A = this chain, B = another copy of it.
Amino acid sequence: MKKKITLKQIARELDVSISTVSKALRDSVEISEDTRQKVQAFAKLYNYRPNNIALSLKNRKTKTIGVIIPEIVHHFFSKVIRGIELVANKRGYNVIIGLSNESFDKEVINLQMLANGSIDGFILSIAKETLQQQDYHHFKETINQGMPIVMFDRIVNDIHCDKVIIDDVKGSKKAVSKLLSNGCKNVAIITTKDYVSVGKLRTQGYLEALEDYRITPDTDLILKVDDELVSEDHLESLEKEIEGLFHTNKNIDGVFAVNELYAIIAMKVARNLGMKIPDEIQFIGFTDGVLSKHATPSLTTVNQHGQDMGEKAAGLLIDNLEREAEEEQYTTIVIETELVERNSTK
């Protein structure tokens, strides 16, 4: 086992100084053709590679970006990561990930662990618990220390940083309008409690679409699911809730759900109740994932372009990192959503 070789060792071996070795390897004109070749040959032989940590320390940048997401076993988030990784690597950066597991504490810890020099900047999406507690001091502090942050998807407005979001209102409006223009008269929405920013916005889009069609919203048709229900195996209670929705509102002929899973489960409940999809009832879900594509019937969805979001976020961050001037000009990129029509709608 030959340990990694260092400049010092090469220098000693070749009986020159460390500086000479360093310069020779970087093809400096200061070094004679002779020694340059000698050093380079030796370095290649021993497979020399400069130590990244030493470089990071010297240059005071790590060429690494930290990503903190609430959950990784999740189609959307893993797509975002893929996007981030893609452009990060292309531009010579590594990606280090932290999972908050939707917990405030873990988010704070992750932020602190990485902010101590390990990375050059953050890309993150806020944990639910954090959104609920509305405590954002850790983000502010991090930014204050000169560490740039790019937020995506789950953001909060009063934090000053770059952001990549989709137009949730517009996206869900598009979806609900589709249902309405397809002839649905009684469209229900399955959404989350309001503290989840995207849930709230998507509910708003639902309401706006109804307004466009001059339909008075019926609160009975708005099902706000408590998120605890979805954690692991409480899915049955979610089913029960949706069943209740269908029972008390026999006339529902369209359902818009703020995520894929809610939509799939709703479809399942409807099917079990003997409703024909899409003839008697139509479904659209937010977020396009594997489930939608391979469900039966396949689910019409609002595609968030997760990978694109990741790419854009990484682009913003790296641009910021490599910008000379210190203009504190923050951008918010809005990614267009796209309605992916499948067989759950007419």
Which A residues are within 8 Å of any B CB, using their own CB?
Answer: 1-4, 47, 49-54, 56-57, 62, 64, 72-75, 78-79, 81-82, 85, 89, 94-99, 112-118, 141, 144-146, 261, 264-265, 268, 271, 289-291, 294-296
Q: How far is the CA of A190 from the CA of B114 in the complex (A)?
A: 44
Measured CB to CB, the closest approach of chain B to A84, in angstroms, equals 10
> Is B54 within 8 A of A294, CB to CB?
no
Given contact pairs A2-B144, A116-B50, A268 touches B291 in the complex (Cβ within 8 A): no
> Is B52 within 8 A of A116, CB to CB?
yes
> Is B296 within 8 A of A145, CB to CB?
no
- Contact with A47, one of B50, B141, B264 (Cβ below 8 angstroms): B141
Measured CB to CB, the closest approach of chain B to A150, in angstroms, equals 17
Q: How far is the CA of A145 from the CA of B47 in the complex (A)?
A: 10
> Is B118 within 8 A of A4, CB to CB?
no
Q: How far is the CA of A82 from the CA of B54 in the complex (A)?
A: 30
Residues of B within 8 A of A271 (CB): 296
> Is B85 within 8 A of A99, CB to CB?
yes
Q: How far is the CA of A54 from the CA of B116 in the complex (A)?
A: 10
**Which residue of B has the minimal Cβ distance to A47?**
B141
Residues of B within 8 A of A62 (CB): 53
**Which residue of B has the minimal Cβ distance to A67?**
B97
Measured CB to CB, the closest approach of chain B to A131, in angstroms, equals 21
Measured CB to CB, the closest approach of chain B to A26, in angstroms, equals 16
- Contact with A118, one of B53, B85, B144, B265 (Cβ below 8 angstroms): B53
- Contact with A94, one of B49, B82, B89, B96 (Cβ below 8 angstroms): B96
**Which residue of B has the minimal Cβ distance to A72?**
B78
Residues of B within 8 A of A64 (CB): 96, 118
Measured CB to CB, the closest approach of chain B to A243, in angstroms, equals 16
Residues of B within 8 A of A265 (CB): 294
